């Protein structure tokens, strides 16, 4: 499997693209753009709805259906950016997501190398066991996690959330990185050793630059899954490290039902993801394709 | 690739092992612990054996929640996989539109899950939401907070909105790794569009599609945040899938024993299905 998938993206992408374009051109080609366009419109309508609501006053939202804000207001955003209990939520989320991404990638690098280069006692079982943690429903772990992190005194800290997200992000990172590493020919390792490189020096100076895009893709996925996960993040925090999405639940309870505020907070949670995705747009598809189960 | 036999590779795996074991084994053992012990508060525990497991396995409530979860997963897979492949096949192949499509399609994947729930909650409100007003406007009596069928419709639509892009991205990655020689050969043979799909594109996508099905199966079977924000399991119990029921029992009623037993059964079901999948896949790859 490794020979056709691992080599493919770097060498055959443009050719393949041109070829499948040729294969697909024909009577269908003129209407082919319709399907993705309809799909993207379908994706964008709810987001547009959220965006318009974030600029509306509560009265306008509750008053009936308007397709765009008639009384354009920034008040919702103003509330979020001036109230620490709101904007600290973003800061907290970004802190633990960053810590988690760094831990996941750093721990996964040597492990993925081991899986891609060596056979060792129990390697296949270990790999499957790692993957089973990606399958563990967070709902199952919420309560035990709360007790575990309370017991070791990490409750309501960023590091607790970052560590707990390792449960599913580390296996994912190993999975994706291993795919990228298997695409690098083994001769490179051997040549480096003959040239007198020690393993750590070889790994950081030669090997890591070779799989730089793989590391980028992995970091992206770790960021993404840590950013969107909430059940654990909410369970493990109360005040000091409370994530933004948990702060959103208070609009419904404490201060009445402020839909506009909720919408504005929602819009702001989409932005970091959109920025990150823009930077890795050329690698997203590749990252999934190379990961092997 | 030939791999060297080297047991010292364990040292490289060690950090990952420690990190994951800390997060997986300790909580899992806590759950196992609860599942076999009865408690009446005050940290007094009595050994209860497999009683809770028997209770859960024979309870009507568990059966219906399991059935709802399985039905949800089946519907999701039946819609998202073919739809995702169809969209990937019609995606542009080059130029600036590829990037535009990829970025826009990936956007829902990066929205925190409770925000996804909140978006659809507001979007589908019968009186002030765009979708709700539209459906009511064209003559449907749509209200997802009252009518179970509408609640399911909204839930499925939300998941299709949220996750189909994952299938598209995977299928697209599989398609773009097909060398052009395959298409040229097909052209020389005068293969039909269907034949190209059936004998070139589908086999080449098999691996990524397996990953897609596996990921979508796991995630849709474990889904919690989105339905809990959207419908909270209601109306009645009509959208109470396994994980929602689990949290209701564990945190709502604080019945730790039954909740823990249910967690383990739930986890085992996922594990078993994934193991079957994994072995089938591995067998295919070795051939």
pLDDT tens for each residue of A181-226: 888 888 888 899 899 999 899 999 999 988 887 888 888 889 888 9
Condensed to tens digits (0 to 9), the pLDDT of residues B89-109 reads: 888 777 778 778 888 888 898
Chain B residues in contact with A23 (beta carbon < 8 A): 183, 186-187, 196
Q: Which of A221, A231, A188 is nearest to A289 (CA)?
A: A221
Tell me whether residues B24 and A133 touch, CB distance under 8 A: yes
Q: Is the dihedral of CA B25, B27, B31, B33 positive or negative?
A: positive
DSSP-based helix, strand, coil % in chain A, nearest 5: 75, 0, 20
What count of CB pairs under 8 Å joins A to B? 326
More confident residue, B177 or A21: B177
Low-confidence residues in chain B, pLDDT < 50 = none
Query: If you search the block for the tokens 């199952």, which residue do you land on?
Result: A140
- Going by DSSP bridges, is the β-strand pair B4-5/A118-119 parallel, antiparallel, or unpaired? parallel
User: ipTM beyond 0.85?
Assistant: no
Q: What is the pLDDT of residue A112?
A: 92
pLDDT at residue B287, as a whole number: 57
Confidence of residue A3 (pLDDT cuts 50, 70, 90): very low
Beta bridge partners of B45: B39
Core vs surface per residue B86-98: b (16+ CB within 10 A) or e = bbbbbbbbeeeeb
Q: Is A245 on the interface with B (CB under 8 A)?
A: yes
* Nearest by CB: A269 against B111, B122, B274: B111
Which pLDDT score is estimated for B155? 92
Give pLDDT, residue A16.
Answer: 46
Asked if the Cβ–Cβ distance from B208 to A288 is below 8 Å, we say yes
- Chain-centroid distance of CA B16 in Å reads 25
Answer yes or no: CATH 1.10.10.10 is held by domain B64-286.
Answer: no
C-alpha to C-alpha distances, B74 to B147, B164, B272, nearest whole angstrom: 21, 14, 17
What does the alpha-carbon distance between residue A129 and residue A171 come to, in Å, rounded to a whole number? 9
Q: Choose the weakest-confidence range: A45-59, A133-147, B245-259, B273-287.
A: B273-287
Nearest CA in chain B to A121: B7
Report which of residues A279 and A249 the model is more confident about: A279
Question: Locate tokens 């945190």: which residue?
Answer: B251
Shortest distance, CA A226 to any CA of chain B (angstroms): 9
- B-contacting residues of A 33-92, CB under 8 Å? 33-36, 39-40, 42-47, 49-50, 53, 61-62, 64-65, 67
Of B19, B112, B178, the CB nearest to A230: B112
Instruction: State the pLDDT at residue B286.
Output: 60
Strand partners, A119: B5
A8 and chain B: CB distance < 8 Å anywhere?
yes
C-alpha to C-alpha distances, B233 to A101, A262, B77, B167, nearest whole angstrom? 33, 21, 21, 26
Judged by CB atoms closer than 8 Å, whether chains meet at A47 and B107 is answered as yes
Domain ranges of chain B: 64-286
All domains of chain A in start order, with CATH: 83-290 (1.10.3720.10)
**Which site among B115, B157, B198, B230 would you substitute to test the A interface, given the most A Cβ atoms closer than 10 Å to its Cβ?**
B115
Write out the DSSP string of B23-92: HHHHHHHHHHHHHTEEE-STT-EEE-TTHHHHHHHH-HHHHHHHHHHHHHHHHHHHHHHHHHHHHHHHS-
């Amino acid at each position: 499997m490794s020979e056709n998938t691992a080599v493919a993206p770097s060498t055959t992408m443009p050719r393949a693209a041109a070829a499948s374009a040729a294969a697909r051109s024909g009577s269908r080609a003129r209407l082919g753009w319709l399907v993705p366009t309809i799909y993207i419109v379908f994706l964008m309508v709810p987001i547009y709805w959220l965006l318009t609501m974030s600029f509306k006053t509560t009265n306008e939202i509750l008053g009936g259906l308007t397709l765009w804000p008639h009384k354009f207001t920034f008040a919702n955003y103003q509330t979020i950016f001036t109230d620490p209990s709101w904007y600290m939520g973003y800061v907290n989320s970004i802190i633990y997501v960053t810590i988690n991404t760094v831990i996941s990638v750093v721990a996964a690098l040597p492990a993925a190398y081991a899986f891609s280069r060596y056979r060792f006692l129990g390697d296949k079982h270990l790999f499957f066991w790692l993957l089973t943690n990606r399958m563990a429903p967070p709902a199952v772990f919420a309560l035990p996690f709360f007790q575990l992190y309370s017991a070791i005194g990490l409750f309501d800290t960023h590091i607790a959330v970052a560590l707990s997200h390792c449960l599913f992000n580390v296996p994912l990172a190993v999975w994706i990185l291993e795919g990228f590493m298997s695409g690098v020919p083994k001769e490179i390792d051997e040549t480096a050793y003959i040239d007198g490189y020690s393993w750590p020096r070889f790994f950081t100076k030669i090997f890591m630059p070779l799989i730089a895009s793989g590391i980028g893709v992995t970091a992206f996925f770790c960021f993404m899954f840590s950013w969107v996960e909430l059940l654990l993040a909410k369970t493990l925090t109360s005040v000091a490290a409370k994530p933004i999405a948990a702060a959103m639940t208070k609009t419904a309870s404490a201060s009445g039902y402020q839909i506009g505020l909720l919408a504005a907070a929602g819009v702001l949670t989409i932005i970091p993801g959109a920025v990150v995705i823009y930077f890795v747009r050329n690698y997203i598809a590749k990252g999934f394709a190379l990961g092997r189960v | 690739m030939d791999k060297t036999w080297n047991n010292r590779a364990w040292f490289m795996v060690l950090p990952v092992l420690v990190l994951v074991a800390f997060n997986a084994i300790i909580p899992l053992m806590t759950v196992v612990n609860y599942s076999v012990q009865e408690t009446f508060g005050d940290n007094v525990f009595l050994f209860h054996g497999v009683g809770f497991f028997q209770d859960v396995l024979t309870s009507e409530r568990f059966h219906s929640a399991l059935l709802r979860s399985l039905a949800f997963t089946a519907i999701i897979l039946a819609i998202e996989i073919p739809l995702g492949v169809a969209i990937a096949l019609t995606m542009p192949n080059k130029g600036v539109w590829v990037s535009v499509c990829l970025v826009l399609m990936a956007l829902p994947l990066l929205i925190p899950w409770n925000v996804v729930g909140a978006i659809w909650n507001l979007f589908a409100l019968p009186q002030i939401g765009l979708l709700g007003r539209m459906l009511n406007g064209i003559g449907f009596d749509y209200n997802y907070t009252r009518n179970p069928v509408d609640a399911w419709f909204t839930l499925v639509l939300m998941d299709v909105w949220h996750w189909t892009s994952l299938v598209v991205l995977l299928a697209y990655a599989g398609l773009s790794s097909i060398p052009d020689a395959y298409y040229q050969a097909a052209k020389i043979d005068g293969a039909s569009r269907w034949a190209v799909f059936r004998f070139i594109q589908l086999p080449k996508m098999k691996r990524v599609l397996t990953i897609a099905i596996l990921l979508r199966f796991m995630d849709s079977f474990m889904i919690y945040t989105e339905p809990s924000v959207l419908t909270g399991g209601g109306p009645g119990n009509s959208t109470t899938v396994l994980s929602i029921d689990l949290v209701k029992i564990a945190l709502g009623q604080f019945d730790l024993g039954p909740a823990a037993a249910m967690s383990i059964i739930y986890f085992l079901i996922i594990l078993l299905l994934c193991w079957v999948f994994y072995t089938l896949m591995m067998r295919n790859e070795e051939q």
